[in-house]
Structure 1
């Protein structure tokens, strides 16, 4: 069974990018670009959910109902899809054939839910345009700012049938290894007053799809991307625990509610793993790479390692690389990340960069808010949990640990605020702390937000974090009386750096040896 999965949305680094007419070779490049990597399965998105970009006979092709385009990129997608289809090359069939040629499993993915006509513009289907009464908001008794009420209401049989027809056609007409339901995109499926009844309808619908998948070919699997918080899923009509009891899902891809597409090494998959322990269902969590801080749009390889090792350490069955297509065009650092991912033992003594997600430069959906920042109140400790998979005592004994660096960022504070920092109940000595002033910056790598002050601790072995959970506590002891406003506990970053061996240099020439010329003798 696949351990490393790659999600490709089939649009942004692909059909949107090439001038029409797009050639067959260009179209299958999204598979070829993953050849020779550890990727064993590709989840390939079917159009944009409402409309398709392949030769469907039961769904609708993106742009089939458009005469004048107000969006040149969506027109290009339509032109490229039509060009291939008219040449006798069904785009989805090309992808299926290429994946088989390269030895990868292929799972078409349907964005099960999407907003309404006003969001879709020229991408919208006639089914959505002609049936506003099938939307969740149709009863007009909901607050207009309630998230995702423009989606389809799955209480209606017409909705479930329209979605099912696309799935059934894909299973019967294409050489695939299964099918993925993306159920964490705009995750609302029923009117809030019909959730209980809707939960049964959704379970029966998923069961019907599972039966179709199983009956369409030997070894085919139903994959479902769902909220990691099972209660949050239950509250919108997704009874994942019942699906497991009935055996109607083969692979679960958990990620934070509404998929904020943000790297997070602290996610806890153990409750879900406990539910699947006596079932045949596999758990393959989504692993994102975006950070969105003042310095990092995307996490470096050390951050990918930290996240992957924490997930493997919990006993997951694989990793699902979600939204990694935004790295396109792929270069050497992309392939370096991929190479290590299946091997936590190789990554064990490689540099890692842990962090706690904080308010970032890209928005998050309701229910997917970051843990930080936390507003500090004088005298009241604020605490976050930092999870690591490193066994520092073992690697210290082997002479492999170079440095453990803890960075804590606060916002809105001044040099006169008095603070206390504790890790696992032990006070971190301020005498060994470097304070970095960022109260005002004219320039920054990405944006000028971020902490006012960084507090940087180079931790000695007596203060190292432990494998597993670590409690980091910050207390504002005394506030600068002359300054209004609050102090925010905003950022936590933990870097663990390793040596190749006892007393080995860090790199070609160790940074502690200072400047050197790039001449090899």
Structure 2
């Protein structure tokens, strides 16, 4: 049965066990839950594993750190000593968080990375030439960990994290094994679902973090369509872990449709960043509340059942808690300022990624060729409370003397006021930001198409330009626009 949820994920490490000095105090141990309590978050999901161990005292798997002591890394030393300091006081670190979440009115899901299994024969690991889930021992091991989580801890359910690969864990199958062993992976999910739903004390729920497109899932041996048709999962979360940049245009319409046809929930992932370190002169920059609001609005328009967030700037402050409060209610974000931006292709994901439309490389001036960039927004820009709508294009190797054409849904922006600024402070000569103040031609609610063309360059200047960034900013005011009300 579909269920509205607002989920916050904590990976146990970066903003939790890595940072507190041992022995961890109880108020610090509770902080992972407490920092989101009182917002709209009604579900807390905890990443109980990395590829090399578990972040609780498992009886069937290897606790993180058991195989690497003595430590030469401060975060690794802290994580072991913090867990051990609780255990020495008779406190299970996982039970402590589950109980705290329940005290704060939140459901608790334990999330397990499916491609990582510390303590197993290292020859089974793909990186060592092994074949992952082809080995029955690996499937049995992961099942035993999930069974322990679902039956020995008072969780509402478990989450199978397949999307951690690449970047967060190995894959579970080699590419050449995926076609043959796809039914085996489905049988594994089927067995986990049966176990979780028939556990003593009442049925639990099962979720899965998967990839946004059907093709990416099939490529790794995940027959998500069969999972949905058979109702093997209660919810899915589409994402690509390796690239933390927010994507308001993630291609999940197929997933929402097929999941809802089978009464299964879809929770949209709100990645935390505006930019990463994958571009020269750029560093990690967190998405602003207006960016989160824009992505959330787009996802609500697509019919998702809730939103899933994580890794917000830590310690969480007023801005982050306000964002988490807004995410739970589509009405709260409907007429709030929004900052849409388009996702770029990333080298971090290798060949395991879905389509991105940026950057657009225009190799030379040609008046006959236009390049299309599709995007969607959730706002009705004809709403009389919209104070302004702006389109921003970041274009490298552009000079003011170029004849650069921009059209929105087939309409030229030549008559709209356009201001220019340097593209970056580090290399201001590299290009320009073009900012169109849209008064007459505005984006429409839903699907839009931007078209760009480099029609002519000044004499003596050849070569092309690259459209690096596309952003749409919508600003609202408390009153209606105009002199008459």
TM-score (norm 1): 0.84
For 2:86, what is the secondary structure of its paired residue? Answer: helix
Instruction: Give the match for residue 279 of structure 2.
Output: none
Q: In 1, distance between residues paired with 2:386 and 2:444?
A: 14
Q: CA deviation at 1:269?
A: 2.2
Q: In 2, distance between residues paired with 1:218 and 1:278?
A: 26
Please tell me whether the aligned partners of residues 33 and 101 of structure 2 are also in contact (alpha carbons under 8 angstroms): yes
Q: CA deviation at 1:258?
A: 4.5
For 1:455, what is the secondary structure of its paired residue? Answer: strand
Instruction: Give the match for residue 309 of structure 1.
Output: 297
Q: CA deviation at 1:464?
A: 0.9
Q: Does 1:208 align with 2:191?
A: yes
Q: In 2, distance between residues paired with 1:404 and 1:329?
A: 33
For the aligned residue pairs, the C-alpha RMSD in angstroms reads 2.3
Specify whether residues 331 and 40 from structure 1 end up closer, same or farther in structure 2 by C-alpha distance, changes over 3 A only.
same
Please give the residue correspondences for 1:245-260 in structure 2 after superposition, counting only pairs within 5 Å.
245-255=229-239, 257-260=240-243
- Larger deviation, residues 305-314 vs 293-302: 293-302
Instruction: Give the match for residue 471 of structure 1.
Output: 449
For 1:20, what is the secondary structure of its paired residue? Answer: coil
Q: In 1, distance between residues paired with 2:299 and 2:416?
A: 35
Q: In 1, distance between residues paired with 2:299 and 2:419?
A: 32
Q: In 1, distance between residues paired with 2:263 and 2:137?
A: 32
Q: In 2, distance between residues paired with 1:19 and 1:168?
A: 32
Q: In 1, distance between residues paired with 2:405 and 2:148?
A: 61
Please tell me whether the aligned partners of residues 152 and 159 of structure 1 are also in contact (alpha carbons under 8 angstroms): no
Q: CA deviation at 1:126?
A: 3.8
Which of 371, 382, 385 is matched with 1:382 structurally? 371
Instruction: Give the match for residue 161 of structure 1.
Output: 140
TM-score (norm 2): 0.90
Q: CA deviation at 1:481?
A: 5.5
Q: Does 1:241 align with 2:221?
A: no
Instruction: Give the match for residue 510 of structure 1.
Output: none
Specify whether residues 469 and 449 from structure 1 end up closer, same or farther in structure 2 by C-alpha distance, changes over 3 A only.
farther
Q: In 1, distance between residues paired with 2:127 and 2:36?
A: 41
Q: CA deviation at 1:195?
A: 1.4
Instruction: Give the match for residue 519 of structure 1.
Output: none
For this pair of structures, how many residues does the alignment match? Answer: 466
Q: In 1, distance between residues paired with 2:192 and 2:27?
A: 33
Please tell me whether the aligned partners of residues 381 and 389 of structure 2 are also in contact (alpha carbons under 8 angstroms): no
Please give the residue correspondences for 1:107-118 in structure 2 after superposition, counting only pairs within 5 Å.
107-114=109-116
Please tell me whether the aligned partners of residues 348 and 390 of structure 1 are also in contact (alpha carbons under 8 angstroms): yes
Please tell me whether the aligned partners of residues 52 and 119 of structure 2 are also in contact (alpha carbons under 8 angstroms): no
Please give the residue correspondences for 1:211-290 in structure 2 after superposition, counting only pairs within 5 Å.
211-216=194-199, 217-255=201-239, 257-290=240-273
Q: Residues 280-329 of structure 1, C-alpha deviation per residue, up to 9 Å, x if partnerless?
A: 211111111201175970121111111001000111111111333xx110
Q: CA deviation at 1:163?
A: 1.1
Please give the residue correspondences for 1:30-429 in structure 2 after superposition, counting only pairs within 5 Å.
30-114=32-116, 125-127=118-120, 130-132=121-123, 134-137=124-127, 139=129, 153-187=132-166, 188-216=171-199, 217-255=201-239, 257-292=240-275, 294=282, 297-324=285-312, 327-358=313-344, 363-368=348-353, 370-377=356-363, 378-379=365-366, 380-393=369-382, 395-396=383-384, 400-429=385-414
- Larger deviation, residues 292-301 vs 412-421: 292-301
For 1:19, what is the secondary structure of its paired residue? Answer: coil
More strand as a share of residues:
2
Alignment gaps of 5+ in structure 1: 115-123, 140-150, 505-521
Specify whether residues 449 and 261 from structure 1 end up closer, same or farther in structure 2 by C-alpha distance, changes over 3 A only.
farther
Specify whether residues 85 and 451 from structure 1 end up closer, same or farther in structure 2 by C-alpha distance, changes over 3 A only.
farther
For 1:285, what is the secondary structure of its paired residue? Answer: strand
Q: In 2, distance between residues paired with 1:342 and 1:450?
A: 43
For 1:307, what is the secondary structure of its paired residue? Answer: helix
Q: In 1, distance between residues paired with 2:204 and 2:225?
A: 21
Q: In 2, distance between residues paired with 1:57 and 1:331?
A: 37
Specify whether residues 367 and 449 from structure 1 end up closer, same or farther in structure 2 by C-alpha distance, changes over 3 A only.
farther
Which of 488, 491, 516 is matched with 2:469 structurally? 491
Please tell me whether the aligned partners of residues 249 and 375 of structure 2 are also in contact (alpha carbons under 8 angstroms): yes
Q: CA deviation at 1:364?
A: 4.2
